[in-house]
Amino acid sequence: MTAPLMSLTWTDHLTGRQGYLVVDRLVRGVSSGGLRMRAGCTLDEVAQLARGMTMKEALHYTPEGRYIPLGGAKGGIDCDPREPGAYELLVRYLRAVRPYVESLWTTGEDLGLSQDLVDRAASEAGLVSSIQAVYPLLDDEVTARRRLADAFAVEVDGIGLDELVGGCGVAESALTALDRAGVACAGARVAVQGLGTMGGATARFLTRAGLTVVAVADIKGTIANPAGLDVEALLAARDAHGTVDRSALRPDDRELPGDAWLSAGAQVLVPAAVSYAIDTTNQERITARWIIEAANMPVLPEAEELLSARGVTVLPDVVVNSATNAWWWWTLFGDIDAGADAAFAHTRRSMRALVEQMLARAERDGTTPRAAAHAIVADRLPVIAERFAWYR
Ligand SMILES: NC(=O)c1ccc[n+]([C@@H]2O[C@H](COP(=O)([O-])OP(=O)(O)OC[C@H]3O[C@@H](n4cnc5c(N)ncnc54)[C@H](O)[C@@H]3O)[C@@H](O)[C@H]2O)c1
């Protein structure tokens, strides 16, 4: 991997905890990438995620769109978000990296953090907004910011639109793969790891498309039911960290160990929680035909090789989970209005086109979908660099 443009390690003066910021690339002086908080987060992980953001931005480049891709970046803080003092640590981190957020890094929620929390901490750290670095690129800043604020105020059946678009994109990726393979959605079985922002929304959209969610795992373990779980009841029983209150389970739902979601008899697996969830050892238990990477880097490269050799298709994170990021910019730059209908329609159209393109390229080149996505990015980055400067 070539070196990122910039990477820094922050050490909290009170606790000794560390946080990281990696800016992989700039386009017109700005980069985009969420902020995660998890115990064990490393600089290397953040650097890989920042590279992934460069790819996600490039993949959504369409010359006719108003949204022009940004560079990729990522932030990470090595701390369990449920620990006492985690919020204060987040505020101190944001105070430390404030000059970057003000000038070149737009950020938002990622694993372990909600957008509300990031917004509250950013304001306490003296920032106008977590995405203020992009404002100088807007034609009409006031209207654009109002449109995005309006979009964030939209709720669909109890869940904010900002927490739904990502999962809408993940679900559409899965549906595109099923359609291409001629497999009917009705009754196809799904298992999801993580029922937070990404996993929760993905489970909702796949259920509404006619699939049956037979297992979901959260930090406390797996909940399974071969006849299908009541996804909406589980979504309503989540706390702010995406943990399901077990008292909401139905009598025939079963509680199983944390890794049971891997072998719950699903055709579609959606890892939507942590990185590195599927390794060379536990991949042996997978009998699914597709793995749809809602999380970032959930399948280790050596595991993917083994899976691919026995016909399991992995749809890669850089494509599958790219819709949240793109939706912020489609809305802010004015490609879509603030409503849910436009958001879901544009997400579905864009994700289907992207997944089709990737799968067609993989077929043509005889590679994995991931290698095909990387090849598409390799074609696009020089075009973006030629049309738009690194610095503004
Ligand atoms: N939120 C976004 O907009 C977004 C966008 C793109 C990619 N992602 C990626 O998706 C993944 C999930 O992010 P999120 O925002 O949905 O997180 P979240 O914090 O909202 O939810 C995480 C979920 O995973 C579960 N979980 C955590 N550790 C677990 C473990 N060891 N085993 C099983 N379950 C576990 C939690 O209980 C929770 O249900 C991350 O990899 C993140 O980088 C998120």
Could you report the per-residue pLDDT of 191-226, keeping only the tens digit for each? 999 999 999 999 999 999 999 999 999 999 999 999
- Residue 37 CA to residue 113 CA, distance in Å, equals 6
Ligand 1 midpoint to CA 112 (Å): 7
Q: Whose CA is nearest to atom 6 of ligand 1?
A: 321
Kindly list the distances between the CA atom of residue 47 and the CA atoms of 42, 284, 329, in Å, as whole numbers in the listed order.
9, 29, 22
Pocket test for ligand 1, best of 110, 152, 351 (most atoms within 8 A of CB): 110
Pocket of ligand 1 (CB under 6 A): 36, 109-112, 166, 193-199, 217-219, 241-243, 258, 272-275, 294-296, 321, 324
- Residue 377 CA to residue 389 CA, distance in Å, equals 17
Greatest distance between any 2 Cα atoms in the chain? 60
Q: What number of H helices and E strands is found in the chain?
A: 13, 15
Could you report the per-residue pLDDT of 38-60, keeping only the tens digit for each? 999 999 999 999 999 999 999 99
Pocket test for ligand 1, best of 38, 197, 293, 297 (most atoms within 8 A of CB): 197
Ligand 1 midpoint to CA 49 (Å): 14
The bridge status of strand 268-271 relative to strand 189-193 is parallel
Could you report the per-residue pLDDT of 138-187, keeping only the tens digit for each? 999 999 999 999 999 999 999 999 999 999 999 999 999 999 999 999 98
b/e 225-248 (16+ beta carbons within 10 angstroms → b): beeebbbeebbebbeeebebeeee
Of the candidates 201, 189, 211, 190, which has an alpha carbon nearest to the alpha carbon of residue 238? 201
Ligand 1 midpoint to CA 366 (Å): 32
Q: Measured on CA atoms in the order 78, 104, 22, 110, is the torsion positive or negative? A: positive
- Residue 29 CA to residue 137 CA, distance in Å, equals 9
The bridge status of strand 31-32 relative to strand 71-78 is parallel
pTM: 0.96
Phi, psi (degrees; rounded to nearest 5) at 387: -85, -30
**Amino acid symbol at 173:** S
Are 228 and 214 a contacting pair, CB within 8 Å?
A: yes
Burial label for 55, CB within 10 Å (0-12, 13-18, 19+), is buried
Note the pLDDT of residue 368. Answer: 98
